[in-house]
Amino acid sequence: MDWLKLKSGSDVRGVAMGEKTVLTEDVAKALGMAFARFAAEKCGKSVGQITIAIGRDSRLTGEALLRAAAEGISRAGASVMDFGMCTTPAMYMSIITPPYEPDGAIMVTASHLPPERNGLKFFLHDGGLEEADVVSLLQTASELHPEEFAISGSITCKPFLDTYKGLLADRIRKGLETDIEKPLLGLHVVVDAGNGAGGFYADLLKDLGAWIEGSQFLEPDGRFPNHMPNPENEDAMRAISKAVRRAGADLGVIFDADCDRAAIVDADGREINRNRLIALISAMLLDKKPGVTIVTDSVTSSGLSKFIGDWGGEHYRFKRGYRNVIDAAIRLNEEGIDCPLAIETSGHAALRENHFLDDGMYLATVLIVEAMRLKQQGKTLGSLIADLQEPVESQEIRLGITEEDFRTAGQNAIALVMDYAVAAEKWHVAKDNREGVRISFDLGEGMENGWFLLRLSVHDPVLPLNVESDVEGGVQEMLCQLYDVLKNAKGIDLTPLKKAISE
């Protein structure tokens, strides 16, 4: 088995059930042992002196993988806090929340992926692990034989979600500048947990006075029978939009399975995700303090950049991947640049006020506070983004890479496009091109009124292509020109591109 194939960005992920299973209980056990040793070294303690917290989402394989990882930690000699059902952000928060304060934490989850997949996310006091750390963990785990070690560390069941709920409730009262028991009286919120781990959020809102009639799919069910737990999934967003309209709610909130991502819909059922979500939270931050910098991933729209600028802010595009945008925001702050937010179009959002932890539930909480405040003024969240310029046309296409060395093949294709763009008329390499190749186009009589971004996927042998145009027919024009450049690229499956052109 090639253990490094389990690496997925800064996480571990793989098929965990069925004939193609690679993330087995034995693998989880070895990773638990490896992480315990890794955490002890980072903490400057012996393994017997440390404690690791572990939790899981609702996936069918979660309980068994949690038990196996916990056993591996115990066989390393460390103590284990078993949180059971939990969320990814809560696992990190436990590290900095008395009296828990474990030395590290593991979340068993594959986020938004299908039911047969699962994975592990790792945290230390400084946050999630870097990609190089995950490589080191996998290499160490591949050489371990946990069954050769006796179980010497304790395993204690100690749920954390009630404590985490309390932290969110405190944030709502603080945001509304009140200490009353039910500060959300009068607000109607529909919660869609997608049968992941986040169903408890509806209870939290109800306890604070909100009306939650119409909330759905709150019960954990790792089969995800209603829709995929993914704020980017079209079926999922249609489901929450219909539920909000049917209930006549003020807004709706939807989470992925482990609750590190979220999106909302307004009272009309309009989706506020991707660029709209970034614009909304940016407007809220810039309203309080103009001039701050908002860090996003690379696929954000030109209209969003204009919106942030119009609100008095700076837009800093960086690489796709939630760890990438978070690390960029932390670096900018260290350089003296005021940057309160790092956010991906996928819904990963990390606020400086919340330790730059990508916490979809915390983001939803901040938005609900604002929704309550605006409702008291007769306004809605949607009013904050009324001036967001959205493209006339947009499309995302994924080009498969057929070469075994897919990274080299993908990078060669990107270089081919970059070389062409440098010399081509009406092709402009973006000034903030920090990933792949982002090209602005002069379409028709306009200037820079269309763009595409071709980049290498963080996880898969794929070149995602995002295209947006401010004029009708612009996407087709750009795709045709790009096809002419890529048609001889080695190892790139252009079938999806040709299909898009012919439609």
**Would you name the residues annotated as active-site residues?**
111
**What are the Cα distances from residue 499, in Å, to 36, 386, 482?**
49, 34, 13
Q: What angle do CA 235, 238, 240 make, to 5 degrees?
A: 110
Which among 498, 455, 495, 457 is positioned nearest to 479, based on CA atoms? 498
Contact 341, 294 (CB under 8 A): yes
The Cβ of residue 353 has, within 10 Å, a number of other Cβ atoms equal to 11
Element (H, E) at 485: helix 474-486
Strands 341-343 and 314-317: unpaired
* Closest C-alpha to 127, from 282, 260, 298, 318: 260
3-state secondary structure of 165: helix
Spatial separation of the C-alpha atoms in residues 196 and 215, rounded to whole Å: 14
Integer Cα distance of 283 and 290 in angstroms = 9
Contact 401, 493 (CB under 8 A): yes
Placement of tokens 């295209």 in the chain: 467
Task: Give the single-character DSSP code of 47.
Answer: G
Residues near 303 by Cβ (< 8 Å), separated by ≥ 6?
275, 388, 389, 390, 391
